[in-house]
Amino acid sequence: MKKRGGLAAIATCILLASAALAQGSTEAWDHYPARPEAPEGAPNVLLIMTDDVGFGAASSFGGLIDTPTFDAIGAEGLRFNRFHTTAMCSPSRAALLTGRNHHAVGNGAITNLSRDLPGYTSVIPDSAATIADVLGEHGYVSAFLGKNHSTPEWEAGSTGPFDRWPTALGFDYFYGFNAAWADQFAPELVENTTQVEPPADEDYILDRDLSDHAIEWLRRRQNSAPDAPFFVYLAPGSPHTPHHAPADWIERYNGRFDMGWDAAREMIFERQKALGIIPADAVLTPRPDELPAWDSLSAEAQRVAARMMEVYAAQLSFHDYQVGRILDELKRTGEYDNTLILYLQGDNGGDLSSFSGESNEWGGFFGEEPTYEELSEDLDILGSRQSWGGYPSAWAWATNAPFQWGKAVAGYLGGIRSGLAVSWPAGIARHGVVVDRFSHITDIAPTIYDVVGIEAQESFAGVAQLPIDGRSLAPEFGAIDAPDPQISQYFEMLGNFGYYEDGWFIGTKMQRPPWDRTSERTPIPESLTEYPWELYNLEEDFSQSRDVSGSHPDKLANMIASLTRLAEANNVLPVETDVMVLLAPGTRPLALADHSDFSFARANARYLAADVPPLSGRWRIIADVVVDGSGASGPVFVQGGRHTGWGLLLRDGRPQLVNRPSFDEAKHGTATADRPIEAGAHRISAEIVPDSTLGRFAARVDFTMDGQPAGSGTLPDTRVLATSAYLQRYGLTPLLEDPDMPAQCECRVEEVTLQLLNAEGGER
């Protein structure tokens, strides 16, 4: 009765307070913080950026890939044909969100290649507030959906720290992944800062899921903050590898690339001229000698290469369709007209990293370069959940038309020039216009601020801010003859340099193609003056086809000097050119580097890749399991899946350690204990001991059960890549395609421990 009386007293207080509010007494709320108010009439902002798309890929930029949503935005507003990125993923994203040059905000390379230098830490500093930060201070609500490749690797685990996750970079909501890429059918998903599992649905695919969540968030915002304008940033992984798409979308492109990359590039070039995307006097640059002519391929090789391009095209088209669904929602709610839409078709040019294409790109990390004959065996799985593929470099080159080279090459326009479409029905007076003005990804932030009617603060959250490097594009929205301002902009990626200044461009000559990671490392010059340079007059030579350095030596020298000053001011120097050097163990800080034992308990979702230590050399897995009877089977602990992975399994009660680094069966191995475990609680241990007498990456596996030896086996290749992990189940990507192996272990896994050991078997 006493408790009941207490509740009655509380209810009375609530009723009295409600009555007071009903009579208009609101003094008690005067001291509560109010939501900031946006400037009157401020538009919503929808920012979209795809991943790894050539300038000439999309249909409204002359491409052979259908992108009706992107095309419609350009038709309703503007298409920018001289828009530039940074040549790679993380740097473009950091520059986009902050409006600063990528080295100036610590993102000189992708987060996976970070190093201990100011321009390369992969840490966006507090002195570079993001668009979401700034708009949030002015009454906007914001959501980020898709690829976040801006959080340092060592902070991307389940416990953070979350200081540089999207929700700490100004966004109210995040749904996507913290990595360079994602399996479209089984992504490693995060909602805000919590690991979540995609639904166990055979029809699931990430791009549709991202748009579903965007639409759901927009509807929630309609209820909770209908008067607050929104900022939505949609950054899909598509069409970055792995190239995945629904089967029916792939079939839409069946046969459409049978003409090959040489003919396709010529078709794109002619379409670009017809659409006015490039000037009539533009020149189509030739195919590099390093890439094969289409006619040099066998009929079987052509069939495989064409199919790979069909998958890529389907993925880009499918994503574009999902963007259309979001626009339909805005039209349904009446918010479309006052929404500024900026649709960046690519964060860099087409990806040149795989010479022949792949059905499983993970194999590239082990030095594998499959032949077309080998790839033909996987033809039927390309684009499906069984594959993790990418297309041949020559297709990337073709879609970068009319420019040379592509992604990661900052000295040629193929790597840094992308399509941009902008619409805002209530605010852009020009429609269907091609804007021939030099623009850069750092221009997006100041353009948004200009349109909203605000300025980037000199101080944010008590921290003095770096100056904005970009320039607003908003003058183009209303003035047909908006002047082209005096502009200079540097470019650098992995030792490839470019520099633009008032119509002129200098770039370093190609030294080693992006797909070549095996040849001898090119020495890094001590001074920029020692690089091999080319000079182009882009005002007269749109496609960067004629090197005029020989006839303008003074111009070249002056531009190199200007670039040197900018490089020093933006923390560009010193550079590193070799990806394999940057990927080597010990080159980057790791969240898990300070201890040797790592324990994993049962969880509702998988462990993120950053939660699992890098496994190399000598190590041990210990699993505490409970089985109800003899003959239990299933996964105990699995990292990765069918594309690359390893696992401790039970098969008919006998512990097994399985490793599948890639699709190469010569690297596959299984070591099995000599006896099964019985019913009850047991401790299983498998110690991996490298043994060079068995092979360069081979090892012996020694099993124990409850402290007693239980036999040994060997594995031909024990290399393990950083991917997410599961306890007691496979998740959505089973390690083995084995109908006799259940997806859920017929046991209870209490805990798994991974121990990193020294050569003698003690803790490192």
What single letter denotes the amino acid at residue 497?
Answer: F
HSE at residue 445, side-chain half, CA atoms within 13 A, is: 27
Among the candidates 583, 608, 627, a domain finishes at 583
Determine how many CB atoms are found less than 10 A away from the CB of residue 599.
11
Quote the DSSP letter at residue 632: -
Is the residue at 338 inside a domain?
Answer: yes
CA distances to 383, 409, 522, 680, 742 from 634, in Å: 28, 46, 48, 16, 5
Helix (H) / strand (E) containing 582: helix 579-583
For residues 606 and 718, state if they share a domain. Answer: yes
Residue 723 maps to which CATH number?
A: 2.60.120.200
Give the separation between CA 669 and CA 646, rounded to whole angstroms. Answer: 10
The domain of 164 spans 44-483
**Same domain as 676, residue 570:** no
Q: Which residues pair with 48 in a beta bridge?
A: 234, 343
Q: Which two tokens stand for residue 595?
A: 């201890």
Contact between 435 and 366 under an 8 Å Cβ cutoff? The reply is: no
Averages of pLDDT over runs of 10 residues in the chain (764 residues) are 42 48 56 85 98 98 98 98 97 98 97 92 97 97 97 90 96 96 95 93 96 98 94 98 98 98 98 98 97 98 98 98 98 98 98 96 90 95 96 98 97 98 96 95 98 94 96 86 75 96 96 78 87 97 98 98 97 86 65 78 85 92 94 96 96 97 95 96 97 95 97 96 91 89 94 93 82
Return all residues near 413 (Cβ < 8 A) that are at least 6 apart. Answer: 55, 403, 404, 505, 543, 544
**Which of 524, 553, 583 is a domain's end point?**
583
Question: What are the Cα distances from residue 387, in Å, to 29, 56, 147, 357?
Answer: 58, 26, 20, 12
pLDDT at position 16 is 47
Hey, what are 447's tokens? 């353009």
Q: What are phi and psi of 712, to 5 degrees?
A: -150, 170
Q: How far is CA 386 from the centre of its chain?
A: 20
Q: Could you tell me the CA-to-CA distances from 393 to 294, 407, 494, 543, 622 in Å, in that order? A: 12, 10, 18, 20, 43
Separation CA 613–CA 220 (nearest Å)? 39
Q: Clarify whether residues 560 and 436 are in a common domain.
A: no
Distance of alpha carbon 410 from alpha carbon 84, whole angstroms: 10
The closest of 654, 635, 636 to 736, measured between CA atoms, is 635
Residue type for 145, please?
A: L
We report the CATH number of the domain holding residue 568 as: 3.30.1120
Q: Are residues 185 and 275 in the same domain?
A: yes
Running DSSP on this structure, what letter comes out for residue 720?
A: -
Residue 701 lies in a domain: yes
Residues 178 and 77 in one domain: yes
- Domain membership of residue 34 (yes or no) is no
Where helices occur in 2-130 by DSSP H, the ranges are: 2-22, 68-76, 89-98
Nearest Cα to 90, choosing from 121, 61, 59? Answer: 121
- Note whether 407 and 352 are within 8 A (CB): yes
Confidence at residue 14, expressed as pLDDT on a 0 to 100 scale: 47
Q: Could you tell me if residue 606 is inside a domain?
A: yes
Q: Are residues 516 and 663 in the same domain?
A: no
The answer on 250 and 175 residing in a single domain is yes
In a domain, 353, yes or no: yes
Model-level pTM? 0.94
The number of C-alpha atoms within 13 Å of 86 and in the hemisphere containing its C-beta is 28
Q: Give the span between the Cα atoms of 468 and 135, in whole angstroms.
A: 15
pLDDT of residue 3: 38
Residues 504 and 456 in one domain: no
Tally of residues, the chain: 764
With respect to residue 552, please indicate whether it lies within any of the assigned structural domains: yes
* Same-domain check for residues 543 and 476: no
Burial letters for 25-35: b for 16+ Cβ neighbours within 10 Å, e otherwise?
Answer: eeeeeeeeeee
* CATH number for position 158: 3.40.720.10
**Residue 437 falls inside a structural domain:** yes
Q: Are strands 725-727 and 708-715 parallel, antiparallel or unpaired?
A: unpaired
pLDDT at residue 590, rounded to an integer: 59
**Looking at the 3D structure of the chain, how many domains does it have?**
3
Residues 460 and 606 in one domain: no
Q: Is the peptide bond prior to 475 cis by the omega test (within 30 degrees of 0)?
A: no
Do 369 and 461 lie in a common domain?
A: yes
Domain boundary among 555, 583, 611: 583
Whether 445 and 405 share a structural domain? yes
Among 74, 199, 153, 23, smallest CA distance to 605 is for 199
DSSP code per residue over 683-719: EEEEEEEE-TTT-TT-EEEEEEETTEEEEEEEES---
Give me the pLDDT at residue 578, please: 78
> Is 12 domain-assigned?
no
Burial of 712: CB neighbours in 10 Å, binned 0-12, 13-18, 19+ = middle
Distance (Å, rounded) from C-alpha 306 to C-alpha 604?
41
DSSP 465: P
The Cα 756–Cα 467 span in angstroms is 45
Model pLDDT for residues 30-43, shown as the tens digit of each residue: 777 888 899 999 99
- Looking at residue 589, its pLDDT comes to 62
551-578: b or e for each residue (b if 16 or more CB lie within 10 Å)?
eeeebbeebbeebbebbeebbbeebbbb
